[in-house]
Chain A
Amino acid sequence: MAILVVAEHTNAALAAATLNTVAAAQKIGGDVHVLVAGQSVGAVAEAAAKIAGVSKVLVADNGAYANLLPENVAPLIAELGKGYSHVLAPATTNGKNYLPRVAALLDVDQISEIIAVESADTFKRPIYAGNAIATVQSSAAVKVITVRSTGFDAVAAEGGSAAIEAVATVSDAGKSAFVGEELAKSDRPELTAAKIVVSGGRGMGNGDNFKHLYALADKLGAAVGASRAAVDAGFVPNDMQVGQTGKIVAPQLYIAVGISGAIQHLAGMKDSKVIVAINKDEEAPIFQVADYGLVADLFEAVPELEKLV
Chain B
Amino acid sequence: MKVLVAVKRVVDYNVKVRVKADNSGVDLANVKMSMNPFCEIAVEEAVRLKEKGVASEIVVVTIGPNTAQEQLRTALALGADRAILVESADELNSLAVAKLLKAVVDKEQPQLVILGKQAIDSDNNQTGQMLGALTGYAQGTFASKVEVAGDKVNVTREIDGGLQTVALNLPAIVTTDLRLNEPRYASLPNIMKAKKKPLDVVTPDALGVSTASTVKTLKVEAPAARQAGIKVKSVAELVEKLKNEAKVI
Q: Which residues of A contact B (CB under 8 A)?
A: 67, 69-71, 74, 92-94, 96-105, 107-113, 122, 126-140, 173-184, 192, 196, 220, 228, 231-232, 237-239, 244-245, 247, 252-253, 263-264, 270, 273-276, 282, 287, 289-296, 301, 304-305, 308-309
The residues in B between 1 and 56 inclusive whose CB is less than 8 angstroms from any CB of A are 11, 13-14, 16-17, 19, 26
A239 and B162 contact, CB distance less than 8 A: yes
Interface size class of B (residues with CB under 8 A): 35 or more
Q: Which residues of B contact A (CB under 8 A)?
A: 11, 13-14, 16-17, 19, 26, 93-95, 98, 117-118, 120-134, 136-139, 141-142, 144, 154, 157-169, 172, 177-179, 213-223, 226-227, 229-232, 234-236, 238-239, 241-242, 246, 248-249
Apart from the given pairs A181-B161, A182-B162, A291-B227, 17 other A-B contacts in the complex at a CB distance below 8 Å: A67-B164, A69-B166, A100-B126, A101-B129, A112-B125, A127-B121, A129-B123, A132-B220, A132-B222, A132-B223, A247-B160, A253-B249, A276-B238, A289-B229, A291-B229, A292-B229, A292-B241
B125 and A309 contact, CB distance less than 8 A: no
B214 and A71 contact, CB distance less than 8 A: no
B138 and A173 contact, CB distance less than 8 A: yes
- Cα(A55)–Cα(B41), bound, Å: 45
A181 and B159 contact, CB distance less than 8 A: yes
Q: Is the interface of A mostly helix, strand, loop or mixed?
A: mixed
Known A-B contacts A74-B133, A101-B129, A274-B242; A181 and B162 likewise in contact (beta carbons under 8 Å): yes
Most buried by A among B213, B229, B241: B229
A96 and B125 contact, CB distance less than 8 A: yes
Chain A residues, Cβ within 8 Å of B131 = 104
Chain A residues, Cβ within 8 Å of B169 = 174-176
Known A-B contacts A101-B133, A122-B218; A309 and B239 likewise in contact (beta carbons under 8 Å): yes
Chain A residues, Cβ within 8 Å of B232 = 292-294
B19 and A309 contact, CB distance less than 8 A: no
Closest 5 A-B residue pairs measured CB to CB?
Answer: A104-B133, A100-B129, A104-B130, A100-B126, A140-B214
